[in-house]
């Protein structure tokens, strides 16, 4: 039976996203149209610098690199030379819990999260860095140490597909509030320092401890939260009867009742506002991605990348 790409992802589909990664960047030098430009970009360390040597000043050298102590000691201008660190591993944390198995317009949130992870993973590997991650649901947690190999990337994608394929409307949503914290503990263990950490989730079940975990990770790494949301988190259609489903099973919800709409929207919107507020209190950036729109188009807009031009024949 063919897989409905809006409900479950296939390994072939994720592999085909390799070309989509071209032009995207998670480094602090961002185009003016990127959501990470300005104060968001200032939160990202990018690669560090290693001291290489002290040498005499040459015409064209940046005067800001002059070492005045060495200059005074030797009687001639000297500069400190730095080289950019070559390794900046990335850890991608991908949520595949039952709360992600929902979509009102285009994709399930779980599908959008998988696509974001695949695009980011290919971009990191193409840049020459190591990539790994954590894929998790209520019962399982798959960990992949960052590696600089296509085989390692494919193994990571296989883990995403495996847990994504286990999402089913019959599954019990057994996660308790704060269950995300255990995963963040693992992320902190794998990303000790100088990593790029992307957490791709709807952040269901967050609490005060979640913020403390994120603060700890952000203290030593570049942290980006990819907030996967559904359009219904802000606006619900006030139809008399709305059918929600996952492609196999359906449930009828009466959204004509004001109290039902208010309760659902306040719960979802409140979580979104709380996560967006973290940007002012934690050294991180938030990229909101909707499951109701094409994933690649959104990432191009968020990261300031232009769509590839078509050849004219």
Please say if the pLDDT value at position 122 is more than 90: yes
Structure confidence at residue 244 as a pLDDT band (50, 70, 90): very low
Q: What is the pLDDT of residues 149-191, one digit of tens each?
A: 999 999 999 999 999 999 987 776 554 544 799 999 999 999 9
Write down the pTM of the prediction: 0.75
Q: What is the pLDDT of residues 28-49, one digit of tens each?
A: 445 555 555 444 445 556 555 5
What does the pLDDT read at residue 257?
56
Please say if the pLDDT value at position 50 is more than 50: yes
Strands 242-245 and 250-253: antiparallel
- State the chain's mean pLDDT as an integer: 80
* Mean pLDDT value of segment 274-289: 86
Phi then psi for residue 250, to 5 deg, are -135, 155
CA triplet 241, 110, 270: central angle to 5 degrees?
A: 65
Three-state DSSP state, 106: coil
* CB atoms near residue 294 (< 10 Å): 13
Rounded CA-CA distance 91/93 in Å is 6
Phi then psi for residue 61, to 5 deg, are -65, 150
Structure confidence at residue 59 as a pLDDT band (50, 70, 90): confident
Contact in structure between 114 and 160 (CB atoms under 8 Å): yes
More confident residue, 161 or 61: 161
Three-state DSSP state, 305: coil
* Mean pLDDT value of segment 112-134: 94
CATH classification of 11-29+87-303 is 3.90.226.10, yes or no? no
Rounded CA-CA distance 118/18 in Å is 8
Residue 231: Cβ-neighbour burial (10 angstroms; 0-12, 13-18, 19+): middle
Place of tokens 């000691």: 73
Compute CA distances 11 → 17, 151, 239, 248, whole Å: 10, 13, 37, 21
Rounded CA-CA distance 111/114 in Å is 5
Q: 116: closest CA among 177, 244, 50, 26?
A: 26
What does the pLDDT read at residue 280?
82
Percentage with pLDDT > 70 across the chain: 71
Least confidently predicted of 61-65, 146-150, 204-208, 265-269: 265-269
Q: 28: closest CA among 17, 18, 36, 20?
A: 36
CA triplet 14, 16, 22: central angle to 5 degrees?
A: 105
Three-state DSSP state, 77: coil
Q: What is the pLDDT of residues 187-233, one digit of tens each?
A: 999 998 889 999 999 998 888 899 999 999 999 999 999 999 988 76
Using CA atoms in the order 262, 263, 266, 269, what is the torsion angle rounded to 10 degrees? -100
What does the pLDDT read at residue 243?
45
For the chain, domain boundaries: 11-29+87-303, 49-84
What does the pLDDT read at residue 142?
97
Structure confidence at residue 21 as a pLDDT band (50, 70, 90): confident
């Amino acid at each position: 039976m063919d897989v409905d790409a809006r409900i479950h992802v296939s390994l072939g589909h994720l592999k085909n996203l390799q070309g989509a990664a071209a032009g995207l960047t998670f480094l602090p030098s961002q185009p003016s149209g990127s959501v990470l430009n300005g104060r968001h970009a200032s939160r990202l360390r990018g690669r560090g610098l290693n001291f290489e040597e002290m040498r005499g000043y040459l015409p064209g050298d940046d005067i800001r690199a002059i070492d005045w102590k060495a200059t005074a000691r030797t009687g001639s201008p000297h500069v400190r030379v730095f080289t950019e660190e070559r390794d900046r591993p990335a850890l991608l944390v991908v949520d595949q819990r039952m709360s992600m198995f929902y979509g009102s317009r285009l994709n399930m949130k779980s599908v959008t999260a998988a696509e974001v992870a695949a695009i980011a993973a290919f971009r990191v590997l193409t840049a020459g860095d190591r990539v790994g991650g954590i894929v998790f649901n209520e019962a399982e947690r798959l960990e992949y140490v960052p590696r600089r190999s296509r085989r390692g990337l494919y193994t990571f994608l296989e883990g995403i597909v495996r847990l994504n394929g286990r999402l089913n409307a019959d599954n019990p949503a057994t996660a308790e509030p704060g269950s995300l914290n255990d995963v963040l503990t693992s992320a902190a263990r794998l990303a000790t320092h100088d990593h790029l950490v992307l957490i791709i989730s709807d952040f269901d079940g967050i609490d005060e401890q979640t913020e403390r975990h994120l603060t700890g990770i952000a203290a030593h790494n570049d942290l980006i939260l990819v907030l996967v949301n559904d359009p219904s988190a802000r606006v619900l259609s006030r139809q008399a009867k709305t059918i929600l489903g996952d492609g196999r099973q359906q449930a009828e919800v009466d959204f004509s009742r004001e109290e039902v709409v208010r309760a659902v929207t306040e719960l979802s919107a409140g979580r979104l506002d709380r996560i967006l507020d973290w940007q002012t209190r934690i050294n991180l950036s938030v990229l909101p991605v909707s499951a109701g729109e094409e994933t690649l188009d959104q990432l191009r807009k968020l990261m300031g990348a232009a769509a590839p031009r078509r050849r004219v024949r």
